[in-house]
Each structure stands twice: as C-alpha cells, then as structure tokens.
Amino acid sequence: MDITITKLVITFSVHATEDLEKNMESLSNIIPDGILEQMEINIDELEGGYQNPIDFVNIAFTRASIIEKILRYFSSITPSEEKTKLGIEFDERFDQKNNMFYIRLDKEELFHGKVSITSSANIIKLAMKLRAFTKDVNFREFLISKNILN
C-alpha cells in the first residue's frame, strides 16, 4: 500500500490522586516488552484546578520497526468488538486535514489488562500519523489491513 504510519504518540494525564508508576505499568499492557525502556518519556508538570499537580506524559515513537511491533501487539490484544467500534467510529476518530487517527483507551480497564475503546475523559490516547505517497488512498482500508479496526 502507498500509506505508512510515520509517528505514534501515546499521551495521558496523571492527577494528584493517581500513581504515576501504576499508570506507566499499565502501558505494558499495550506495548511489547523491552520497547518502553528504550524510549524517552517526557513528563510535563501542570497545574489543575485548585492548584492540584497533574503530570502530562508524552511518549513519541518514530522508528517504523518499533511502531510496527507496537501496533502488531496492540492488534493481537484488542478484542474484535473493540476493533469493530473503531471501524464504526472511524470518521469521528480520523482527522483528514492532518491524517491522524486517534484511539482513546479506558485507563481503568487498561490497569486490569483489558483494552476498551472509550470517549470518556480518563484515558490513554494513541495518535497515529499516517502518510500517503499517492492521492486517493483509503486510510480506513489501510488500518483494516493492519488489523487495527474492523
């Protein structure tokens, strides 16, 4: 296909009532062993309402081989009904102007090892930057071929 994923970004917020380490451990449920340890993890300290501290975690992957491993692993652990949900919601999750596809995972479910697609606020967000080398490509079909959505 004439499409590739050039960047995968994972972001999430950790509020004062949450444990940063526990949040980082939950990432191991969607990222294969050994990859996270190789990555630079950016954590920005923000201030929320009532001056509560919030850590904003941002992890960017740009190497094609790493992105492929993560997405293959993610695809293997994502239940079919969740992939179907992504397929149904494709238009809402795909930014055509920037060729970005967004997946919002329920953070609480991920703590328990379950991949659950959500629209709620307590999430871990995956953002995929797609690049097309020709005109008139079908990004939806590409993501189906990668087994990310049904």
pLDDT digits (tens, 9 = 90+) for 50-65: 888 999 999 999 999 9
AA letter at 50: Y
pLDDT at 120 over 90: no
Question: Do residues 150 and 80 make contact, with C-beta atoms less than 8 angstroms apart?
Answer: yes
HSE of 100, CA atoms in CB hemisphere, 13 A: 13
Q: Residue 1's pLDDT is what?
A: 57
Give mean pLDDT, residues 104-121: 92
Write out the E strands in 16-147. 41-47, 53-61, 94-95, 100-106, 123-132
d(CA 99, CA 122): 24
d(CA 56, CA 35): 20
User: Considering the chain, what percentage of its residues have pLDDT values greater than 90?
Assistant: 74
Superfamily of domain 3-145: Ribosomal protein L5 (3.30.1440.10)
pLDDT at 25 over 90: no
| Domain limits, the chain | 3-145
